């Protein structure tokens, strides 16, 4: 868990530095570039969810703004370390607005056909939430990435199919057994905030 906390701090610093540079040299991207009220679309199979995306390169990472059904989340993928023997790299997911984070969680819950967990009494404020990612391969320019989430006794993975700079990415379910854990972790990360 300590490694993940350090990863979140590292990525949060990188994001803050990138925002500083963006403010000094140009205006930051606006939410108008995301289709805020994009229709909820099922893919060719029930295990697929299409999500609007906007990519931005930053020092040592790529940030993807993800939007679906009025919800918005930001996924930052740190560049793979040259000495990463296990093939896993650091990442962070965050909601910069709790209401939009909750809508994002709701869209995932509806897609996976599971209930969103109730809000805890001691809910905090959403903050960058550390996770891990690994590249499965690349086919016709489309990267297949595994996103691995863990929080307390819960763990879940999901596959992301993405083409850099494309306006849409595709989430593919890895296992139906992970549905409840995935939605519960996303609710903690994007709606409630992980208690410290």
Give mean pLDDT, residues 92-113.
Answer: 95
Is residue 64 within 8 A of residue 74, CB to CB? The reply is yes
Is residue 115 within 8 A of residue 109, CB to CB? The reply is yes
**Predicted confidence (pLDDT) at residue 19 exceeds the cutoff of 60:** no
Q: Is 3 exposed, middle or buried (0-12, 13-18, 19+ CB in 10 A)?
A: exposed
At 35 the pLDDT is: 33
At 120 the pLDDT is: 85
At 36 the pLDDT is: 34
At 121 the pLDDT is: 80
C-alpha to C-alpha distance for 47 and 49, rounded to whole angstroms: 7
For 194, residues 6+ apart whose C-beta sits below 8 A from its C-beta are 124, 127, 129, 151, 188
**Predicted confidence (pLDDT) at residue 90 exceeds the cutoff of 70:** yes
At 125 the pLDDT is: 82
Summarize pLDDT for 180-196 with one digit per residue, the tens: 999 999 999 999 987 64
Summarize pLDDT for 139-182 with one digit per residue, the tens: 888 999 999 999 999 999 999 999 877 899 999 999 999 999 99
Maximum distance among all Cα pairs of the chain, rounded to whole angstroms: 47
C-beta pairs of 35-38 under 8 Å, 24+ apart in sequence: 35/67, 36/67, 36/70, 36/72, 37/69, 37/70, 38/67, 38/68, 38/69
C-alpha to C-alpha distance for 81 and 180, rounded to whole angstroms: 31
At 160 the pLDDT is: 95
Q: What is the mean pLDDT of the chain?
A: 80
Is residue 190 within 8 A of residue 123, CB to CB? The reply is no
C-alpha to C-alpha distance for 71 and 96, rounded to whole angstroms: 11
- Give the tokens for residue 168: 């849409």
Name which of 154, 114, 64, 159 is nearest 106 in CA terms: 114
Phi, psi (rounded to 5 degrees) for 164 = -55, 135
Give mean pLDDT, residues 21-49.
Answer: 44
């Amino acid at each position: 868990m300590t490694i993940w906390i350090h990863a979140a701090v590292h990525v949060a610093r990188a994001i803050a530095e990138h925002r500083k540079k963006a403010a000094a040299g140009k205006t930051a991207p606006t939410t108008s570039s995301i289709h805020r009220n994009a229709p909820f679309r099922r893919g060719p199979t029930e295990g697929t969810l299409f999500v609007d995306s906007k990519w931005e390169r930053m020092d040592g990472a790529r940030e993807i703004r993800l939007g679906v059904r009025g919800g918005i989340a930001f996924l930052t993928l740190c560049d793979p370390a040259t000495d990463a023997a296990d093939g896993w790299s650091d990442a962070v997911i965050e909601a910069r607005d709790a209401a939009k984070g909750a809508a994002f969680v709701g869209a995932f819950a509806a897609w996976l056909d599971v209930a969103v967990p109730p809000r805890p009494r001691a809910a905090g404020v959403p903050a960058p939430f550390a996770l891990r990612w690994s590249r499965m391969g690349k086919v016709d320019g489309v990267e297949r990435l595994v996103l691995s989430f863990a929080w307390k006794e819960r763990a879940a993975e999901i596959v992301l199919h993405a083409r850099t700079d494309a306006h849409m990415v595709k989430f593919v379910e890895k296992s139906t057994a992970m549905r409840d854990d995935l939605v519960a972790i996303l609710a903690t990360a994007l709606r409630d905030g992980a208690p410290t």
